[in-house]
């Protein structure tokens, strides 16, 4: 059922139709985190030419920032069924149960493969994997590395595995079977489709020096999007600066269906650095609460107690909402999720009782980050507030990572595989990337399309100026952030619409990224307006209850020549 069609407001294509150079591969993987590198490593050897394209260097994406760990039923007391039950509860009725079953049953073997590739997880004194607990989990099932540097360790192992493969740089020796061609500092501009609507390749801009400089066309028989999330849509996020929604935007422009964009997870305990702090903010892992830290308000009241059976370890949406309520209730004047309008700008995390030795051993990265900001968690309370952390929605995929565009696959945060529903369970994200990338590599080689001629879809070519990004982020944070209502979302859409009318004079990565952020922000705000209920991470103060009669299904978004259509899909 169509909910709404919004006439063309954003450009339908960003790249010029005359690329300066052309390359070809069988499969191009966009993104180099756990999802992208797993896909590339598993496809290598199965198809002739595999390439990875990444906007920065191979280890610059979100994966390396993951602190808590990777969840899987690995402990003797645990089962995939229990992991499944916790995932479904966190997802608040919006998960695809088949996708969740795949995640939890294939998860343990996938983590073992990661270990075989060289990832060193922490062990207990008996040599077994040391497992911890995070919000929403009823068992200790989070494997971690170097205490709180799990993502960095996984990324190290994967990058080394890629480098161990006979290896060729873009512009250098051609890749053969068994090699992975790597384009670093290369921004994907558009997904290029063929006459049948399926994939024909990508336009990319290789930044810096060398033969590959400028916008070029990489023709490909399949594209695997593994480009991460959209954190930079908001003013404060745990995501790195590269998380500018590029994968979702290029998929949307190419005709792919996006699902449940409104389900954006706000992590409850992000270090509060002051009202004017913008961009990537330091995360205080849920694992710190898993080890016994607790939240207090300005009066020292442990406000999570009695609110949920898991108290400080309740699912993330429950904790974020409780913090926000305290922030808003703390005094008059706080109406929205704009931190500058709060009664209290943050709450506190108390982890002093963990002690110096424990902090140094278990959370060395977080300890260093707190100290770098003048807080010693051994003696001080840590100021914390929710900030954007994870997109549970994204490019809709089936159980094998296939999108609605032939030849286009998606995996990891850019995808909506159905495992997260309305609220991702802690530490399920690394696992999702791992499991679904393995699945893509199982089916893709037999589904390779012939190399197709590009047809240059999309109509209007254009860009908004990079300079509108700060205003876009302010609008999204204050009107479409943690706490939403119809009035605020309508205002967000109007203000974003005005930004979309502006045209960039300079063609550069800032303008490409900002156009992507705007494209996805509009779709996200529209989806949030359409979902007139509160479910998981989507919190509407004008519709405070979950409404299974009207909203048990999904909001699907498509775009044609900049015009967006929202459809309602039954569960």
Least separation in angstroms between residue 428's CB and ligand SIN is 7
Least separation in angstroms between residue 473's CB and ligand SIN is 21
Q: Print burial letters for 80-101: b (CB count within 10 Å at least 16), e (below 16).
A: bebbbebbbbbbbebbbeebbb
Instruction: Return the number of the residue (237 or 478) whose C-beta is nearest ligand SIN.
Output: 237
Report the half-sphere exposure of 401 (CA within 13 A, side-chain side): 32
Round to whole Å and give the CA distance between 425 and 319: 13
Told to check if 429 binds ligand SIN by CB under 6 A, we report yes
Interface residue with ligand SIN, options 130, 427, 437, 534 (CB under 6 A): 427
Taking CB under 6 A as the criterion, which residues in 458-487 touch ligand SIN?
A: none
Grouping H, G, I as helix, E, B as strand and the rest as coil, residue 270 is strand
Q: What is the CA radius of gyration of the chain?
A: 22
Instruction: Return the number of the residue (269 or 514) whose C-beta is nearest ligand SIN.
Output: 269
Instruction: Return the number of the residue (122 or 513) whose C-beta is nearest ligand SIN.
Output: 122
Q: Which residue, judged by CB position, is nearest to ligand SIN in the bound state? A: 68
- Residues in contact with ligand SIN, counted by CB under 6 A, come to a total of 10
Least separation in angstroms between residue 268's CB and ligand SIN is 9
Query: Which residue stretch of 219-227, 284-292, 391-399, 512-520 sits at the interface with ligand SIN (rule: CB under 6 A)?
Result: 284-292
Least separation in angstroms between residue 135's CB and ligand SIN is 8
Instruction: Return the number of the residue (23 or 312) whose C-beta is nearest ligand SIN.
Output: 312
Query: Which residue stretch of 44-52, 282-290, 358-366, 396-404 sits at the interface with ligand SIN (rule: CB under 6 A)?
Result: 282-290
Least separation in angstroms between residue 265's CB and ligand SIN is 8
Least separation in angstroms between residue 225's CB and ligand SIN is 20
Query: Strands, DSSP E only, in 135-213?
Result: 142-143, 167-169, 180-183, 186-193, 199-206
Told to check if 350 binds ligand SIN by CB under 6 A, we report no
Instruction: Return the number of the residue (121 or 390) whose C-beta is nearest ligand SIN.
Output: 390
Indicate left, alpha or beta for 421 from its phi (over 0: left) and psi (-120 to 50: alpha): left
* 177 backbone dihedrals φ, ψ, rounded to 5°: -50, 135
Least separation in angstroms between residue 416's CB and ligand SIN is 17
Interface residue with ligand SIN, options 9, 15, 67, 437 (CB under 6 A): 67
Least separation in angstroms between residue 67's CB and ligand SIN is 4
Instruction: Return the number of the residue (33 or 458) whose C-beta is nearest ligand SIN.
Output: 33
Instruction: Return the number of the residue (145 or 330) whose C-beta is nearest ligand SIN.
Output: 145
Round to whole Å and give the CA distance between 522 and 524: 5
Instruction: Return the number of the residue (267 or 479) whose C-beta is nearest ligand SIN.
Output: 267
Least separation in angstroms between residue 354's CB and ligand SIN is 15
**Whole-number Cα distances in Å, 414 to 37, 180, 239, 366:** 14, 22, 13, 26
Report the half-sphere exposure of 340 (CA within 13 A, side-chain side): 11
Query: Which residue stretch of 204-212, 281-289, 354-362, 522-530 sits at the interface with ligand SIN (rule: CB under 6 A)?
Result: 281-289
Least separation in angstroms between residue 246's CB and ligand SIN is 21
Active-site annotation holder among 289, 316, 424, 439: 316
Helices (runs of H) and strands (runs of E) counted in the chain: 14, 25
Active site residue 164: no
- Here the tokens at position 157 are 């192992």
**Whole-number Cα distances in Å, 560 to 9, 167, 253, 257, 554:** 11, 38, 7, 11, 20
Interface residue with ligand SIN, options 14, 34, 287, 349 (CB under 6 A): 287
Round to whole Å and give the CA distance between 111 and 117: 10
Told to check if 68 binds ligand SIN by CB under 6 A, we report yes
Told to check if 286 binds ligand SIN by CB under 6 A, we report yes
Report the half-sphere exposure of 258 (CA within 13 A, side-chain side): 38
- Here the tokens at position 297 are 């308000």
Round to whole Å and give the CA distance between 260 and 67: 26
Told to check if 411 binds ligand SIN by CB under 6 A, we report no
- Here the tokens at position 549 are 């009669």
Told to check if 285 binds ligand SIN by CB under 6 A, we report yes
Helix axes 150-164, 428-447, angle to 10 degrees: 30
Residue 539's DSSP bridge partners are 483
Told to check if 228 binds ligand SIN by CB under 6 A, we report no
Told to check if 151 binds ligand SIN by CB under 6 A, we report no
Query: Which residue stretch of 25-33, 285-293, 371-379, 526-534 sits at the interface with ligand SIN (rule: CB under 6 A)?
Result: 285-293
Instruction: Return the number of the residue (285 or 534) whose C-beta is nearest ligand SIN.
Output: 285
**Whole-number Cα distances in Å, 364 to 33, 59, 70, 370:** 22, 20, 18, 10
Round to whole Å and give the CA distance between 361 and 144: 13
Taking CB under 6 A as the criterion, which residues in 354-393 touch ligand SIN?
A: 389-390
- Here the tokens at position 221 are 């028989």
Query: Which residue stretch of 108-116, 307-315, 329-337, 426-434 sits at the interface with ligand SIN (rule: CB under 6 A)?
Result: 426-434
Instruction: Return the number of the residue (216 or 229) whose C-beta is nearest ligand SIN.
Output: 229
* 405 backbone dihedrals φ, ψ, rounded to 5°: -100, 125
Round to whole Å and give the CA distance between 71 and 78: 11
Told to check if 426 binds ligand SIN by CB under 6 A, we report yes
Told to check if 319 binds ligand SIN by CB under 6 A, we report no
Q: Kindly list the catalytic residues.
A: 316
Which residues contact ligand SIN (rule: CB under 6 A)? 67-68, 285-287, 389-390, 426-427, 429
């Amino acid at each position: 059922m169509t909910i709404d069609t919004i006439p063309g407001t954003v450009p339908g294509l960003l790249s010029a139709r005359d690329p300066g150079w052309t390359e070809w591969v069988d499969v191009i993987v966009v993104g180099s985190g756990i999802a992208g590198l797993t896909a590339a490593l598993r496809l290598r050897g199965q198809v002739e030419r595999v390439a990875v394209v990444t906007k920065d260097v191979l280890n610059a994406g979100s994966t390396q920032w993951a602190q808590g760990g990777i969840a899987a039923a690995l402990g003797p007391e645990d089962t995939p069924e229990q992991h499944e039950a916790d995932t479904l509860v966190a997802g608040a009725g919006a998960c695809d149960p088949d996708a969740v079953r795949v995640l939890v049953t294939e998860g343990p073997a996938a983590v073992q493969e990661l270990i075989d590739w060289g990832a060193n997880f922490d062990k207990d004194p008996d040599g077994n994997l040391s497992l911890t607990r995070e919000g929403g989990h009823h068992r200790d099932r989070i494997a971690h590395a170097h205490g709180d540097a799990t993502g960095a360790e996984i990324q190290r192992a994967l990058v080394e595995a890629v480098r161990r493969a006979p290896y060729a740089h873009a512009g250098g020796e051609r890749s053969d079977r068994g090699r992975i061609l790597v384009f670093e500092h290369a921004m994907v501009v558009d997904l290029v489709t063929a006459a049948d609507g399926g994939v024909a390749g990508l336009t990319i801009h290789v930044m810096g020096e060398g033969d590959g400089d400028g916008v070029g066309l990489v023709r490909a028989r399949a594209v695997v999007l593994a480009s991460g999330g959209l954190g930079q849509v908001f003013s404060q996020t745990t995501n790195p600066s590269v998380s500018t929604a590029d994968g979702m935007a290029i998929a949307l422009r190419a005709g792919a269906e996006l699902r449940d964009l409104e389900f954006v997870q706000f992590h409850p305990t992000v270090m509060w650095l002051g009202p004017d702090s913008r961009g990537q903010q330091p995360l205080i892992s849920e694992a710190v609460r898993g080890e016994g830290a607790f939240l207090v308000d300005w009066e020292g009241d442990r406000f999570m107690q009695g609110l949920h059976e898991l108290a400080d370890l309740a699912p993330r949406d429950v904790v974020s909402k409780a913090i926000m309520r305290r922030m808003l209730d703390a005094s008059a004047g706080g109406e929205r999720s704009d931190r500058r309008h709060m009664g209290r700008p943050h709450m506190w995390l108390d982890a002093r009782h963990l002690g110096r030795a424990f902090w140094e051993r278990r959370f060395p990265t977080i300890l260093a980050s707190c100290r770098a900001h003048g807080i010693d968690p051994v003696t001080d309370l840590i100021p914390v507030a929710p900030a954007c952390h994870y997109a549970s929605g994204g490019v809709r995929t089936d159980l094998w990572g296939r999108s609605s565009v032939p030849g286009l696959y998606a995996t990891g945060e850019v995808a909506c595989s159905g495992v997260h529903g309305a609220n991702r369970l802690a530490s399920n994200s690394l696992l999702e990337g791992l499991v679904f990338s393995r699945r893509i590599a199982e089916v893709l080689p037999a589904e390779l399309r012939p190399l197709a001629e590009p047809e240059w879809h999309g109509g209007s070519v254009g860009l908004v100026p990079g300079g509108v990004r700060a205003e876009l982020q302010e609008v999204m944070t204050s009107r479409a952030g943690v706490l939403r209502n119809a009035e605020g979302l309508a205002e967000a859409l109007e203000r974003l619409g005005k930004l979309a009318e502006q045209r960039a004079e300079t063609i550069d990565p800032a303008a490409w990224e900002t156009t992507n952020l705007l494209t996805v922000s509009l779709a996200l705000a529209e989806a949030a307006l359409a979902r007139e209920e509160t479910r998981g991470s989507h919190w509407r103060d004008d519709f405070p209850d979950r409404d299974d009669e009207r909203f048990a299904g999904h909001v699907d978004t498509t775009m044609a020549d900049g015009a967006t259509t929202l459809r309602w899909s039954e569960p």
